[in-house]
Amino acid sequence: MEGILYCIQAVVAMLTISREADYAARLVVHMATSPEQRFNAKALSAAERIPESFLFKILQTLMKHRLVRSYRGLRGGYQLAVDPKKLTLFRLLETVEGPLGLNLCVMSGMGCELRTQCAVHEVWVVAQAQLRQVLESATVADLARRTLEKRRAASRDGPQPPQPSAHSAFAAGPVFPIGCAADGLD
């Protein structure tokens, strides 16, 4: 059992966007569904199921980077400060996470000293480029539009049980780290 737990933890730890980045993406997309609207913190917290204390931390980060602005007073709140058509998921995630990468050897910009001998490096380079391409191609405006479509479909069709998406990490089955197999440890 201990070996299986290690394998599950290793798979999850391989590529995981932080909870803060996930919340920030959901928060910004939510705001982009009504970009002219000012949202109060309680409504944002409830709508996106983000703990209020964590929400304020995320809002501070987003305001520091001028992606969100705040307004004081009776009609105050938080509002998207950028054009959602020009904000990509890649830029948003990098704002919260810092540089995104699969491996230090492809992130450093200096290359890897083993790249001429290491076949794995080639895979990291391709995977890094594809990850960036996918995240750069997703604008906040596109995600907001899809969110509104999903909300309309959900209200029309009623609640549906959660289903893994074709894009989820385990849609084609989990990928096990070396030393792990589907039936336990090798």
pLDDT tens digits for 99-156? Answer: 888 777 777 666 677 767 788 888 888 888 899 999 999 999 999 999 999 988 888 8
Would you say residue 66 has pLDDT above 90?
A: yes
- pLDDT recorded at residue 110: 62
User: Residue by residue, what is the 3-state secondary structure of 111-155?
Assistant: CCCCCCCCHHHHHHHHHHHHHHHHHHHCEHHHHHHHHHHHHHHHH
Supply angle C-alpha 122, 126, 132, rounded to 5.
Answer: 145
pLDDT tens digits for 10-63? Answer: 333 446 789 999 999 999 999 999 989 999 999 999 999 999 999 999 999 999
Average pLDDT over residues 84-111: 85
Pull the structure tokens for residue 158: 């009623």
Tell me the residue type at 4. I
- pLDDT recorded at residue 39: 94
Would you say residue 80 has pLDDT above 50?
A: yes
- pLDDT recorded at residue 177: 44
Cβ partners under 8 Å of residue 65, min gap 6: 95
DSSP assignments along the chain, one per residue: -HHHHHHHHHHHHHS---HHHHHHHHHHHHHHTSTT--B-HHHHHHHHT--HHHHHHHHHHHHHTTSEEEE-STT-EEEE-S-TTT-BHHHHHHHHHSS--S-HHHHSSS--TTTTT-HHHHHHHHHHHHHHHHHHH-BHHHHHHHHHHHHHHHHHH--------TTSTTTT-PPPPTTEETTEE-
Fold for domain 2-155?
Arc Repressor Mutant, subunit A (1.10.10)
Specify the pairing of strand 180-181 against strand 77-80: unpaired
CA 54 to chain centroid, in Å, comes to 16
Distance, in Å, from the CA atom of 145 to the CA atom of 137, rounded to the nearest integer, reads 14
In the chain, domain spans: 2-155
Would you say residue 3 has pLDDT above 90?
A: no
More confident site: 179 or 28:
28
